[in-house]
Amino acid sequence: MTNVINVKKPNKFKVLMLGALSLGILASGAFASTSTALLYKGKSSAEGATINIHDGSSRMTVTNSGGGPYQLIGQAKKFVAIFPDPVVHTSYARPVTEVKTSFSPEASTYYAAAYTEYASTSLSGAVSITS
């Protein structure tokens, strides 16, 4: 007498669809938006692109690459239809340093802004905000 075992193989289409759906869910939460204001020597200010912050948890990185004795001032600004745009977070970096801070803005559209202390044009650096 022979025992017959019926093994049901999973449907390839269902497995592929489930995999694609899982990847889509993971990808939607894995990518963070970033706005970066790059400040080059010869300029005293710069602004980054706008990003949407939904969860209220954000990070700011201010990198002063040097070029003078002055600080680089990083700001997260809320984008509104009228000017001036309100500043929601500020951080300072001394020459040749990087400063990382966290802040919790309300859900809205924001952008990074970089300014030099005393409007100096000898500094270079970057300010990034990440949602």
Answer whether residue 18 shows pLDDT above 80: no
pLDDT digits (tens, 9 = 90+) for 88-110: 999 999 999 999 999 999 999 99
d(CA 46, CA 33): 18
| % of the chain beyond a pLDDT of 90 | 66
| Domain-embedded: residue 77 | yes
| Domain-embedded: residue 3 | no
Quick one: pLDDT at residue 23? 44
pTM score above 0.95: no
d(CA 87, CA 38): 18
**CATH code of residue 68:** 2.60.120.380
Quick one: pLDDT at residue 82? 81
d(CA 84, CA 4): 77
Domain that holds residue 75: 32-130
**Structural domain count, the chain:** 1
| Domain-embedded: residue 18 | no
The dihedrals phi and psi of 17, each to the nearest 5 degrees, come to: -65, -40
Give the range among 3-12, 30-39, 69-78, 118-127 with minimum mean pLDDT: 3-12
Q: Residue 59 has what DSSP assignment?
A: E
| Domain-embedded: residue 72 | yes
Quick one: pLDDT at residue 118? 93
| Domain-embedded: residue 11 | no
| Domain-embedded: residue 91 | yes
Is the model more confident about 68 or about 41? Answer: 41
